[in-house]
């Protein structure tokens, strides 16, 4: 049974939001979990973190950046179109407890998955200090949503076009050094960003959690494509994660494994380009 796209929009250039009708997934979804989707018979299975879910409406919101063949194809779909397969909710839910003060960091497209976590933590009675960052103001999204889901919100841009001119880590450092008793940091974004956040919080001994996004196939623990090294032990991110202790994660391995199919990704895009009629 295919899954219908109810809404689709380009939030900012190259970053898209789709709301998919998936009542069973929406009913069970928890912050921090993801889905695996396959667009059509020829498609690959890709994981996308659940950015929002509405059990009453039976919808799941996914946010993704156009990178490879599959995300570009997904971006080309519109409301009324459908995708062949969507399995989830997968992975362990983010632990939402009353920790005290939690810093939520979302970088780039990672702002999307940090949103339901921040909201959940607020609802659980935490003081939530959120920091969202992007390369530039024109690709920053969900600022308002994050504002609502946080006690305090900081915005950073690499080029200074909005908020703090610099990186999310600058603010993480500032908040911790300000004397604020930070009980937990959770960071989602590009691996370099997550590694940098881990580097900042480690000397302070602040418990830091990151959500890892390795390449996946089944998402149920059946293949091991998603292997990550945490504290020297191999874990399957799809079932043991996706969240792990940031101070234990081998980010170098994560990044090199993420690069595994770069030549093939290029080949797929070239193939696609060659197949399209010239305009």
Partner 1 sequence: MKMKTESKPEKRPEMAKQSPSERRSNFEEVALGYNSYEAVAEAKRCLNCKKPPCIEGCPVGVDIPRFIRQIAEEDFDSAALTLKSTNSLPAICGRVCPQETQCEAVCVLGKGGKGDPIAIGGLERFVADYELESGVTAPDLPAPTGRSVAVVGAGPAGLTAAAELAKMGHAVTVFESLHAAGGVLVYGIPEFRLPKSIVAAEVDFIRRLGVDMRMNAVIGKIGTVDELLSRYDAVFLGTGAGLPSFLGIDGENLNGVYSANEFLTRVNLMKAYLFPEFDTPVKKGRRTIVVGGGNVAMDAARCALRLGAGEVTIVYRRGEDELPARAEEVLNAKEEGIIFRLLTNPIRILGDENNWVTGMECINMELCEPDESGRCRPVPVPDTEHTIPADVVVIAIGTSPNPLVSMTTPDLETGRYGTIVADETGATSKPGVFAGGDIVTGSATVISAMGAGKVAAKAIDEYVRGAVRL
Q: How far is the CB of 121 from partner 1 (least distance, A)?
A: 22
Tokens of 107: 């970088």
Round to whole Å and give the CA distance between 170 and 189: 15
Residue (of 110, 164, 103) closest to 141 by Cα position: 110
Cβ within 8 Å of residue 118, ≥6 positions away:
104, 128, 130, 146, 149, 150
Choose between 183 and 218: whose C-beta lies nearer to ligand FES: 218
CB 132 within 8 A of CB 111: yes
Q: How far is the CB of 267 from partner 1 (least distance, A)?
A: 6
Scanning 134-142, 145-153, 166-174, 227-235 for contacts with partner 1 by CB under 8 A, the matching segment is 227-235
217 is an interface residue for partner 1 by CB under 8 A = yes
24 is an interface residue for partner 1 by CB under 8 A = yes
Q: How far is the CB of 47 from ligand FES (least distance, A)?
A: 8
Among 51, 238, 246, 254, binds ligand FES (CB under 6 A): 238
Alpha carbon 272 to its chain centroid, in Å, reads 26
Per DSSP, what are the bridge partners of residue 229?
234
* Chosen from ligand FES, partner 1, none, partner binding at 168 (C-beta under 5 to 8 Å by type): none
CB 159 within 8 A of CB 136: yes
Contact letters for partner 1, residues 69-88 (x by CB under 8 A): xx-------------xxxxx
217 is an interface residue for ligand FES by CB under 6 A = yes
Round to whole Å and give the CA distance between 126 and 116: 14
Q: How far is the CB of 228 from partner 1 (least distance, A)?
A: 8
Contact letters for partner 1, residues 33-62 (x by CB under 8 A): -----x---xxxx-----------------
265 is an interface residue for partner 1 by CB under 8 A = yes
Alpha carbon 164 to its chain centroid, in Å, reads 22
Scanning 97-105, 139-147, 189-197, 220-228 for contacts with partner 1 by CB under 8 A, the matching segment is 220-228
Task: Give contact residues for partner 1 (rule: CB under 8 A).
Answer: 1, 24-25, 28, 38, 42-45, 69-70, 84-90, 217-218, 220-225, 227, 229, 234, 239, 252-253, 256-257, 259-261, 264-265, 267-268, 271-272
């Amino acid at each position: 049974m295919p899954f219908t796209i109810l809404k689709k929009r380009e939030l900012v250039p190259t970053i898209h939001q789709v709301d998919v009708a998936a009542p069973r997934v929406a009913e069970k979804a928890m912050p921090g979990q993801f889905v695996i989707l396959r667009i059509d018979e020829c498609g690959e299975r890709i994981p996308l973190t659940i950015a929002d879910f509405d059990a009453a409406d039976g919808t799941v919101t996914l946010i993704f950046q156009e990178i490879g063949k599959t995300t570009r194809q997904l971006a080309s779909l519109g409301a009324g179109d459908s995708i062949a397969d969507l399995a989830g909710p997968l992975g362990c839910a983010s632990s939402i407890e009353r920790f005290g003060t939690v810093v939520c960091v979302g970088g780039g497209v990672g702002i999307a998955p940090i949103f339901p976590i921040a909201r959940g933590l607020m609802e659980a009675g935490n003081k939530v200090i959120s920091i969202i960052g992007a390369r530039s103001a024109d690709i920053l999204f969900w600022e308002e949503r994050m504002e609502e889901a946080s006690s305090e919100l900081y915005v950073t841009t690499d080029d200074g076009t909005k908020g703090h001119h610099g990186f999310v880590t600058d603010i993480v450092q500032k908040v911790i050094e300000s004397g604020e008793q930070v009980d937990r940091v959770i960071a989602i974004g590009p691996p370099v960003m997550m590694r940098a956040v881990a580097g900042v919080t480690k000397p302070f001994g602040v418990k830091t959690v990151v959500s890892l996004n390795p390449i996946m196939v089944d998402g149920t623990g059946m293949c091991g494509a998603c292997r990550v090294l945490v504290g020297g032990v191999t874990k399957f991110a799809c079932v043991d994660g996706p969240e792990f202790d940031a101070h234990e994660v081998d980010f170098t391995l994560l990044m090199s494994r993420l690069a595994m199919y770069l030549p093939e990704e290029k080949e797929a895009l070239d193939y696609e380009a060659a197949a399209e009629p010239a305009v």
